[in-house]
Amino acid sequence: MSDHYETLGVSRDASAADIKKAYRKLARELHPDVNPGREDDFKAVSLAYDVLSDDSKRRNYDLGGGDNGQAGAGAGFGGFSDLFETFFGGGAGGGRPQPASRTRRGKDALVALRVDLRTAAFGGTAEVEVVTADVCGTCDGEGAREGTQVRTCTLCDGHGSVQQMTRTLLGQMVTNQTCPQCGGYGTVIEDPCQSCHGDGRVRAEETITVKVPAGVRDGNRIQLSGRGEVGPGGGPRGDLYLEVIVEDHAVFTRDGSDLRCTLTIPMTAAALGATIPLETFDGEQGVEVRAGAQTGDTIRLKGLGAQQLRRDGRGDIFVTLAVETPTALTAEQRDLLEQLAEARDETAPTGSAGETRHGPFSRLRERLAGR
């Protein structure tokens, strides 16, 4: 038989306040929602607190009673005796369930996290405002007004359930029902804390600094364990989930791990070729525009895109050209263009509908013609 005092980590002359404090600490650490696989330890702590927090049970336990604080007489009869008592009401508390704990795990929370494209592509930190539930600072999660205590329910004597006896053909049948006075907790908060109204937690706003992994995208979620809401009765926190929303960038759009942009260049640069500067996340880069470039041509800047999520390597930048036709010419500029048109025999230009000269079919015809 385990020692309840050792289970809670308190001395045999510990006060009721010390026992309660030790229980609350262990219950938060061992709650099945927080530490799966520690259910037996959690049950042992709950049983120890149930016995040692009740004066009558504690007295019986100290005098050599059973684990549940009941007198030890008849404890050795075992299985059949327990079964008989459960169905026919022979013993005190036979088959009675444990009272519910006021301390429960908090809910998980989902919050939107807005980040700029640079942070999403290469990682960094971001801040997010969270409205959540925190432990009440006035009662420290106890729920009772300062200077008062949570009382053992007088109707169910701390069991959280009341027993009802019914006569049947087999004898007297005992059933357990949730105590209507304490709601199954076994305790009653007669004078609730004015700050939290007995819930043990209050509304709070918090600014959290989050580490954003490189390569995240819209809709990805970041989990922060134990940063969600505090549970009722000052219970352990749930988890916080942050759903990433990547804000629009003035230049680049995201295509997986690639970045895309449109670069508008002068007509002369497209005709003669040029190196056009482009400001990227890696600093200024030169975009090599070939002579005779056309609107819609795409130039690839290898390895300058976004970081791949949870993988090594980066994507590329794809630059789409847009050739700008001048709209406001001086007399001198117009004269020069007219001379160019005359030199290219384009003074009476004609268009070409359908397939362009440099389309795939024209290139095929040129090969077949031996050109």
Q: pLDDT at position 91, please?
A: 41
Task: Provide the pLDDT confidence category of residue 353 given band limits of 50, 70 and 90.
Answer: low
β-pair partners for 338: none
Q: Is the pLDDT of residue 142 over 80?
A: yes
261 annotated to bind ligand = no
β-pair partners for 274: 289
Q: Which amino acid is at 263?
A: L
CA distances from 340 to 1, 100, 333 (A): 104, 91, 11
Task: Provide the pLDDT confidence category of residue 352 given band limits of 50, 70 and 90.
Answer: low
Share of the chain above pLDDT 70, in %: 84
Whole-number Å distance between alpha carbons of 8 and 26:
8
- Could you please state the CATH topology (level 3) that the domain comprising 109-140+199-246 is classified under: HSP40/DNAj peptide-binding domain (2.60.260)
Higher pLDDT, residue 157 or 366? 157
Q: What is the mean pLDDT of residues 339-343?
A: 86
Torsion angle in degrees (nearest 10) through CA of 245, 250, 256, 262: 160
Q: pLDDT tens digits, residue range 234-254? A: 888 999 999 999 999 999 999
CATH number of 4-77: 1.10.287.110
CA distances from 275 to 154, 258, 280, 284, 337 (A): 87, 22, 15, 12, 23
Q: Which amino acid is at 266?
A: P
For domain 253-368, the CATH architecture is Sandwich (2.60)
**pTM of this prediction?**
0.63
| DSSP helix, strand, coil percent of the chain (3-state; round to 5) | 25, 30, 45
Q: pLDDT at position 59, please?
A: 83
Q: pLDDT tens digits, residue range 291-336? A: 999 999 999 999 999 999 988 899 999 999 999 988 888 999 889 8
Q: Is the pLDDT of residue 75 over 70?
A: no
Q: Do domains 4-77 and 109-140+199-246 have the same CATH topology?
A: no
Q: pLDDT at position 49, please?
A: 85
Q: Is the pLDDT of residue 146 over 70?
A: yes
CB distance 96 to 85 below 8 Å: no
Q: Is the pLDDT of residue 267 over 80?
A: yes
Domain borders along the chain are 4-77, 109-140+199-246, 253-368
156 annotated to bind ligand = yes
Task: Provide the pLDDT confidence category of residue 123 given band limits of 50, 70 and 90.
Answer: very high
